[in-house]
Amino acid sequence: MLRLRVFALLIAAAVLGPIGRVNSHEESGDWHCDSGSGIRVQAQFKPGIITVDGIVDDWKDVGGSDFPLLPALDPDADKEYSAGKMTLKAVHDGKEAYFMLQVNGNYAYTQGDSSKCPSVALMFQIGENASYHRMGGCEQGPDTCTNKTCHGHEVDIMHFSLGNAIPGRLYGGNPIDNREGYGGDRFGHLVDVYAWNPHCRFLDGMGPSGNDTTAQNDWQGSWWHSSLTDHSGFIKDDSPYASEGQKGAYYFEFSRPLRTMDRLQQDAQFTIGKSSKLSAAFWYPVDGKPWHGSAHYSISCDWILLDFISGGSEPIKVAQGSPWDAATAFSLLFSVVAFCMAIFIGSGSELKISSLCQGIMARIKPQALLQQSKKKKGPSRISIATFVIYGLIIVVMAFFLFASYRHWTRRSNFQAEDMLSGVEHDNSFGEPTKVDVPKYAVINTSKGSITVELYKEGSPEVVDEFIVSCQKGRFKGMLFNRVIKNFVIQGGDVNRPGTTEDWTSRGKHYNQLDTSLKHEAFMLGTSKVKPDGGGFDLFITTAPIPDLTEKINVFGRVIKGEDIVQEIEEVDTDEHYRPKAPIGITEVTLKQKL
């Protein structure tokens, strides 16, 4: 409830904020933007609910923020986009971030001409000194901007324009669209771009100082308009798909991995439990007139904070909201109210306390006050001071009792919840499996614990070997000896050939049509080539790695503790990718159920 209310407040702030703060036309010379810091968009952890297909029913339980759309280069409230505000929603599932943008707008679509269709873009801050205004704000010209002269001004942009994009179809979602060193999709309408200023903008993987193959188009997207009816997913290629000018709303859906393979500051990297900065822009052919590049609306004149809420912290918050806590809080409040009533109704001798209480009473709704005063009529004739002191002692004692009791109940709640979520995981698996093979392993590290699901079906021998190693306690004290940001963390023996060395020079042998399903982040694997003396090393990927299964035997995936993996990934390392402060595995526990 409290969270809902806070969220409603945030939405209100978001709605009121930009209008209230953007001054009207005065500053035609210097750019001026007073942006509130209170505006935040929250990406909650909600796995498995979103499909990127332009149909937004799957977003109905996700809270959003509404923003007025003002001309980006002339943020005058009188020139606000007249058909309505933009609703922005975001969630993540521990691997991917999902965004939904909804704008009212009569149907406008001209095939092959993007400027006569609506268009949207998302921009994210990468460099710490990158401004939203002027796409990073680097003070260099097109000939002098490089990744050195503009260091710190990097922004990441996703732009989706509709000219040839069929409604309801997924763009950017196949290996051809996502080929290395090319930030655009096959149709050129869903592009992954980075910039330092409006003149220095490049497709991911390309730039003034060379083409780099680790960057690519990491986005997937789809669009829809509410006046369209046929959502077969295979609409005929004729246009327009509905008649011009029909009332309705445009929907845009996008997804992107939280982490990408980019290591040249071309992609923003999202961290669970932390905030990123974003803004959104919208182009619309007002009165059928084509728009041009800089004539877009924007939801804010400055960055908006985007919080990636940790899934792990959800149950804690739920537990805090349990009836027990409400009861504790209520009884405490009731005690204070009763205490105040006693003084309030009694004589005015305790002036100081009395005025404090009046303050408290004034904040309680009149009806509540009335009810309370009915119950508490006619205080006894015992000295009020004595009454108050004894009352206070009892209240404090009761509160301590409640607090310790709550501590215990919450502990058991927790265990119960964990059991429940384990059962859910089991159900989602569906197929009956042998009871005696552990399905999960909890890897305790000095940073926290990581829960992995084991792919017994896919890699039985490797899982068996892993289980035997666990039972022999071989992982106790194993160190993460190689930590490569946006790539992989590796525990175990790294001082032998064939492990990470050739990974870091990857790209050469990359087969661009590799359709391996397991090139995702947070996969668990071990080296294919084992050293003579045996040994079992562990890899956890932190970004999608296209040729993953060529490198390692994947035998599981992280299902809880992604944030711990990211925490390990963030530590300082030396030039051999070895963490400066050792991080070790304390214990690996096998589990049949969670």
Ligand X SMILES: *[C@@H]1O[C@H](CO)[C@@H](O)[C@H](O)[C@H]1NC(C)=O
Site for ligand X in 255-284 (CB under 6 A): 264-265
Name the burial class of residue 84, with classes exposed (0-12), middle (13-18) and buried (19+) by CB atoms within 10 angstroms of its CB. middle
* Under rule CB under 6 A, residue 152 binds ligand X: yes
**CB 250, min distance to ligand X, A:** 32
Q: Of 159 and 179, which CB lies nearer to ligand X in the complex structure?
A: 179
Residue among 278, 301, 320 nearest 124 (CA)? 278
**CB 265, min distance to ligand X, A:** 6
**CB 579, min distance to ligand X, A:** 20
How does DSSP assign 412-477, residue by residue? HHHHHHHHHHHHHHHHHH-S---TTS--EEEEEETTEEEEEEE-TTT-HHHHHHHHHHHHTTTTTT
Site for ligand X in 208-237 (CB under 6 A): 209-212
**CB 291, min distance to ligand X, A:** 27
Q: Of 187 and 399, which CB lies nearer to ligand X in the complex structure?
A: 187
**CB 208, min distance to ligand X, A:** 7
Residue type, 447: K
Site for ligand X in 479-508 (CB under 6 A): none
Site for ligand X in 167-206 (CB under 6 A): 206
Q: Beta strand pairing status for 304-308 and 40-45?
A: parallel
- Residue selected from 110, 449, 516, 549 as contacting ligand X according to rule CB under 6 A: 449
**CB 365, min distance to ligand X, A:** 42
Q: Of 210 and 533, which CB lies nearer to ligand X in the complex structure?
A: 210
Helix, strand or coil, per DSSP, at residue 102: strand
Structural contact between residues 97 and 258, judged by C-beta atoms closer than 8 angstroms = yes
Q: What share of the chain is helix, strand, coil (3-state, %, to 5)?
A: 25, 25, 50
Structure tokens at 265: 């500051």
**CB 380, min distance to ligand X, A:** 51
**CB 259, min distance to ligand X, A:** 18
Cα 424 from Cα 40, distance rounded (Å): 32
Residues 6+ positions from 400 with CB-CB distance below 8 Å: none
Q: Of 199 and 376, which CB lies nearer to ligand X in the complex structure?
A: 199
Using the rule CB under 6 A, give the single segment among 1-9, 55-63, 147-155, 250-258 that binds ligand X. Answer: 147-155
Q: Beta strand pairing status for 86-92 and 40-45?
A: parallel
Q: Of 58 and 218, which CB lies nearer to ligand X in the complex structure?
A: 218
What is the number of the residue whose Cβ is closest to ligand X?
152
Please, how many CA atoms are within 13 Å of residue 379, restricted to the half-sphere of its CB? 20
User: Site mask, ligand X, residues 109-138, x = CB under 6 A?
Assistant: ------------------xxx---------
Backbone angles phi, psi at 99, to 5 degrees: -130, 145
Count residues binding ligand X (CB under 6 A): 21
**CB 524, min distance to ligand X, A:** 17
Q: Of 151 and 528, which CB lies nearer to ligand X in the complex structure?
A: 151
Q: Of 35 and 147, which CB lies nearer to ligand X in the complex structure?
A: 147
**CB 98, min distance to ligand X, A:** 29
Q: Of 220 and 444, which CB lies nearer to ligand X in the complex structure?
A: 444
Cα 494 from Cα 359, distance rounded (Å): 65
Structural contact between residues 337 and 376, judged by C-beta atoms closer than 8 angstroms = no
- Residue selected from 148, 365, 434, 508 as contacting ligand X according to rule CB under 6 A: 148
Structure tokens at 16: 């009121």
Structure tokens at 210: 């060379």
Helix, strand or coil, per DSSP, at residue 219: coil
Q: Of 433 and 586, which CB lies nearer to ligand X in the complex structure?
A: 586
* Under rule CB under 6 A, residue 144 binds ligand X: no
**CB 221, min distance to ligand X, A:** 23
Q: Of 80 and 180, which CB lies nearer to ligand X in the complex structure?
A: 180
Structural contact between residues 263 and 204, judged by C-beta atoms closer than 8 angstroms = no
Cα 10 from Cα 88, distance rounded (Å): 13
Site for ligand X in 569-588 (CB under 6 A): 586-587
Please, how many CA atoms are within 13 Å of residue 250, restricted to the half-sphere of its CB? 26
Q: Of 13 and 264, which CB lies nearer to ligand X in the complex structure?
A: 264
Nearest 5°: CA angle at 508, between 502 and 514? 100
Q: Of 85 and 447, which CB lies nearer to ligand X in the complex structure?
A: 447
**CB 125, min distance to ligand X, A:** 12
* Under rule CB under 6 A, residue 512 binds ligand X: no
Q: Which residues bind ligand X (CB under 6 A)?
A: 127-129, 147-148, 151-152, 206-207, 209-212, 264-265, 444, 448-449, 586-587, 589
